Amino acid sequence: MGNQKLKWTTEEEAALMAGVAKHGPGKWKNILVDSEFAHKLASRSNVDLKDKWRNMGANYEQGSGDNAMTPKGKATAASAVRPRTQTSSSAFVSKDNVNEKLSQGPQTAKCVPKYNAMILEALSSIKDRNGSDFGAIMRFIEKKYEVQQSFRRLLSSKLRRLVLQGTLEKVQKRYKIRLAATGTKTPTQKQKVLIQRHYKSLAEAVKESERVSRMAEDADALLMHLKEGKTTKDNTNSKSSGVTVVVAD
């Protein structure tokens, strides 16, 4: 009777990510005690943090559309992601080596970080004064790891959610996440609003529950178009539900 599922808020997610960025993964108790996060994670236990972090790292599963039969049941992120020849272009220098911990030393298939860790790694590595953006983060990860198409989709999907919710920006104010590249034209801030608006209109237009998953597809396609005139061929199916968006304000 008293066991209700307490869903994580974006503030909590942001606090957790920030905590991991600062103390490193596995230091749940430290994060919980850190006065910087204590308040926001007041209703969570160290075990909760561990579980949440694990969930946010979502292993790649489902083998739809892929040629090789996917050993369902025990496929891990390592199945879809493989470390690239370490060219460690880390221009990133931190006092502690928390960043190192995120990308676990010797790159054995087993040590490939999950997407949440990859994103944090990208955030701390990209030292663009203009801030990092969706594409930059994706590029960073794809450059460092050999990402399979299937995982790429999951990754972009998860990243997009974090960006749209503004979670990443809450992690650290120094992380200025933008949805599009520094195009001389494309108004980045407006795009964000636009896409959020896009989500909203779709949510209201259709009132079923399966269209939610479709919204991601649409927003994805939309994002690609706004990002650059030409789409980065991501093939696959993007069943556009015929939504027209005008870039204006």
Partner DNA sequence: TTAGGGTTAACT
Partner DNA sequence: AGTTAACCCTAA
List contacts with DNA (CB under 7 A): 3-8, 25-30, 46-48, 50-52, 54-55, 58, 61-62, 72, 209-210, 212-213
**Between 180 and 215, whose beta carbon lies closer to DNA?**
215
Exposure pattern of 153-191 as b/e (b: 16+ CB <10 Å)?
A: bbbbbbbbebbbeebbbbbeeebebbbbeeeeebebebb
Quote the least distance from Cβ 187 to DNA, whole Å.
30
The answer to whether residues 188 and 133 touch, using CB atoms and an 8 Å cutoff, is: yes
The two three-digit tokens of residue 189, written as one number: 């801030």
Quote the least distance from Cβ 131 to DNA, whole Å.
26
**Between 4 and 35, whose beta carbon lies closer to DNA?**
4
**Between 75 and 221, whose beta carbon lies closer to DNA?**
75
**Between 41 and 194, whose beta carbon lies closer to DNA?**
41
Alpha carbon distance 193, 210 (integer Å): 23
Quote the least distance from Cβ 122 to DNA, whole Å.
20
202 HSE (CA, 13 A, CB side) = 24
Quote the least distance from Cβ 9 to DNA, whole Å.
9
Quote the least distance from Cβ 19 to DNA, whole Å.
11
**Between 48 and 169, whose beta carbon lies closer to DNA?**
48
105 burial via Cβ count (<10 Å: 0-12, 13-18, 19+): exposed
